[in-house]
Amino acid sequence: MTDSNLSFFGRVSLAVGTFFTILGNREFAAGVKRLRDGERFAPAAPASAPVSVSAPAPAPVAEAVAPALKEASPVAALQLLGLLQRDARFVDFVEEDIAGYSDTEIGAAARLVHDGCRAVLREHFTIRPVREEAEGSRVTLADGFDASAIRLTGNVVGSAPFHGSISHRGWKVEDVRLPRVAERHDATVIAPAEVEL
């Protein structure tokens, strides 16, 4: 299957993995944001063999170089995934083959997963809307608005001030309260196997 033709569950898996990588890696999150804002991905050009030049070389032209991405520690993301599994059975729900279940059964399960996920988020994060106005409200964005917190959609032409309607208030995390883990804790075990005796 090609990258541009991912199945629904392939996209869900990609979205969940990307979600946790964004939480654990500030530089990766900034790169994703730049892509969502319409910037093109510019991989670093491969180094070429040096060429002998008898004439003086022209002054170098500054090139835009993509920032180097460093690998983030996945412990916080694994910890959050473990909390979602513990309180919402999130991984069980996502890994379950739901093709044989009715919409009513899936809806009932989704309600339980939703309640558990919501409880985890409220216990471990303080999440607030980016904009306080109600969705549908008309707003004016002055020159210098925070482009990391507000994404323009629709027919974006010209420069600020922009006049539009809020289609989504956005979310921002004000506080994170993940529990501390012991040094020898294996964060990759998000749910231990259970053996009934």
Domains of the chain: which residue ranges?
131-168
pLDDT computed for residue 45 by the predictor: 45
Cα–Cα distance, 141 to 162 (Å, whole number): 5
Whose CA is closest to 83, among 197, 187, 6? 187
Quick one: average pLDDT of 81-99?
Answer: 94
DSSP letter string over 153-187?
Answer: -SS--S-SSEEEE-S---EEEEEE-PPP--TT--T
At residue 141, the 3 state secondary structure works out as: strand
pLDDT tens digits, one per residue of 11-68: 656 666 677 677 677 777 777 777 777 776 555 444 444 444 444 555 555 566 777 7
Q: 3-state DSSP call for residue 20?
A: helix
Average pLDDT score, the chain = 82
Quote the percentage of the chain above a pLDDT of 70. Answer: 77
Residue type, 87: D
| pTM score above 0.95 | no
The DSSP element (H or E) to which 138 belongs, if any, is strand 138-141
Q: What percentage of the chain carries pLDDT values higher than 90?
A: 53
